[in-house]
Amino acid sequence: METVNKRNFSIIAHVDHGKTTLSDRLLEYTNTVAQRVLEAQHLDSMDLERERGITIKSHPVTLVYPAKDGTTYQLNLADTPGHVDFSYEVSRSLAACEGALLLIDAAQGVEAQTVANAHLAEEQGLTIIPVINKIDLPSANLELCLQQLEDLLAIPAEDAILASGKTGIGIEDILEAVVTRIPPPRWSDYEATRCLVFDSVYDAYRGAIAFVRVFSGSIKPKDQVLMMSDHTRAEVKEVGVFTPAQQKVDSLQAGDVGYLVCNIKNPADIKVGDTITQNANPAAQMLPGYKEVRPMVFSGIYPVETQDFEKLKSSMGKLQLNDAAFSFQAESSVALGFGFRCGFLGLLHMEIIQERIRREYGVDIISTYPSVVYKVKKSNGEEIEVDNPINLPDPSHIETIFEPTIVAHIHVPNDCVGDILALVMEKRGSCERTDTLDGTRLILECILPLNEILVDFNDRLKSITRGYGSMEYELGEYRPAKLVKMDILVNGEPVDAFSSIVHNEKAHTKGGELCTKLADIIPPHLFKIAVQAAIGGKIVARDNVRTMRKDVTAKCYGGDISRKRKLLDKQKEGKRKMKNIGNVSIPPDAFIKVLKND
């Protein structure tokens, strides 16, 4: 097909605004997937996506559309996630496109992630087609949505298309807008072959498979290709397109989106954002990729069974190929043995990765409490980055600790503002400004420490606003804070898996909660065990593990009381000796329970 008759576009929106359902209608209208095969949320192929009802990975698919003017067009569509933790998936998909459908829920209006994704598309210079989705809902408020489109996103209301992904209203208008408003593939006249790697997966039989957008030239089996980032050479074994299953084709031309199977077995040899070119006639310049993703949340992941260490390492390598924002490096812990320090973009991202390791690779794992990257200025003037509490220097060598902050834009109903501001203050944050969104909602711009929003902030936001609140955030600056390292001691011995960096004012409360929880989970021993929270040499909280008591006087029937006392004193002496030399066994599930509940 001629390059001028190809269009590349993504569907972007806030969580749950109907991206994947709209994709179903586009697949149905263009007969890409037969009606008997098509199922709801067809592009969400991962079990986790179907269970949670969210899109986790971008899903490319090629559609063929005969337009009203009689021309047949090839449309390359990418369905993208909406959650803030997966915004890197959106930016990667947009790098391979010339346009984007911006979906707005007719009942919810413009939400936090709608604004963030619209800005991502504008930064890449893409054509944005606004679509007001779910117009068939009884609670739809079209007038308000069109007003917000102009006020918040500066997009003319007359550009919007009214549609319903559920009933199929407006699907033809969307397809016509794609072929008339979105420009043909850019940079297609470049003299050499250039393909952008926007994703990749690992196949046990075919090795590493690269998902590519061909910007110029062509690529076919038996071509010798070059990875421009590290000059790795490979031979192409197979090329194909997504329908949405992988379908083999003879060649990929300029403007196409498809996959390449090369003789590459090592997942690390394919890098997302790399440019692939022909070895015989290499391109002089790489395609502009995207910003390197920096993990924001760190956690240790350890195998429950120590012999699974190599299996876990291999699994993480394959998973990293499919998820460029996930990073890991080996570390060891006294309590948990050998494992990995892993970096994630957020708590949902961390949860999904851990679940994928368990399901897709069958490795049973334990994870430590999540932490962020702190910058520490030492007394000698040296500055270091700390992502693990164990690596925090001695307090006497620390001059200042800087913690990362975020700039959050929180959309909330008017009647919940007071409770949300109280939550922000509880999390050591501040509200910088307030904007009115419409008659019922406000946007709060808040600055919060990143480590305070890790665990329960989003859940409490949803709870306070009865599900109507939403938040998107970006990393802000580092600010000095009174932070301390809190250790948990069991029978006087520190357990490094429970170490954390906390604010000085919250150390007593958090330490007390953790000690109480751990004292309940550790099984009873024959001697008294103290569970303590300590900052340096100072104990800030304590609880005791309940003791088992053997009835040593069971065989004494009557007689002098001194006989019983003698046996009880002997038992007490034995317990005192045992406390000095006895070992406390903490079962593996104790780590899981404490860290999960916390």
The verdict on whether omega for the bond into residue 588 sits within 30 degrees of 0, i.e. cis, is no
17 labeled binding residue: yes
Angle at 101 between CA 117 and CA 65, to 5 degrees: 150
580 labeled binding residue: no
Contacts of 559 (CB under 8 A, 6+ apart): none
**Cα 93 from Cα 95, distance rounded (Å):** 5
Please state the φ and ψ torsions of residue 115, each to the nearest 5 degrees: -65, -45
Paired tokens of 31: 């007969």
Angle between helix 112-123 and 87-95 (nearest 10) = 30
**Cα 400 from Cα 383, distance rounded (Å):** 10
Strand partners, 405: 449
134 labeled binding residue: yes
21 labeled binding residue: yes
Strand partners, 313: none
Strand partners, 276: 195, 227
**Cα 527 from Cα 467, distance rounded (Å):** 48
133 labeled binding residue: yes
Distances (CA, A) of 243 to 31, 59, 331, 574, 586: 10, 11, 42, 73, 51
394 labeled binding residue: no
- Strand 99-105 relative to strand 6-12, pairing: parallel
For residue 435, which amino acid is it? D
- Please report which residue ranges of 102-212 form alpha helices under DSSP H: 112-123, 142-153, 171-181
Burial class (CB in 10 A: 0-12, 13-18, 19+), 205: exposed
Q: Are 252 and 51 in contact (CB under 8 A)?
A: no
**What sign has the CA pseudo-torsion 461, 463, 465, 469?**
positive
**What sign has the CA pseudo-torsion 123, 124, 130, 136?**
negative
Burial class (CB in 10 A: 0-12, 13-18, 19+), 360: middle
Ordered DSSP codes for 323-392: -TT-EEEEEEETTTEEEEEEEESSHHHHHHHHHHHHHHH---EEEPPPB--EEEEETTS-EEEESSGGGP
For residue 49, which amino acid is it? E
37-49 in b/e form (b: 16+ CB < 10 A) is: eeeebbbbebebb
Residue 467, helix vs strand vs coil: coil
Q: Are 449 and 427 in contact (CB under 8 A)?
A: yes
**Cα 187 from Cα 214, distance rounded (Å):** 10
18 labeled binding residue: yes
From the list 501, 306, 493, 319, the residue with the least C-alpha distance to 402 is: 501
Question: Which residues are known binding-site members for GTP?
Answer: 16-21, 133-136
Question: Which residues are known binding-site members?
Answer: 16-21, 133-136
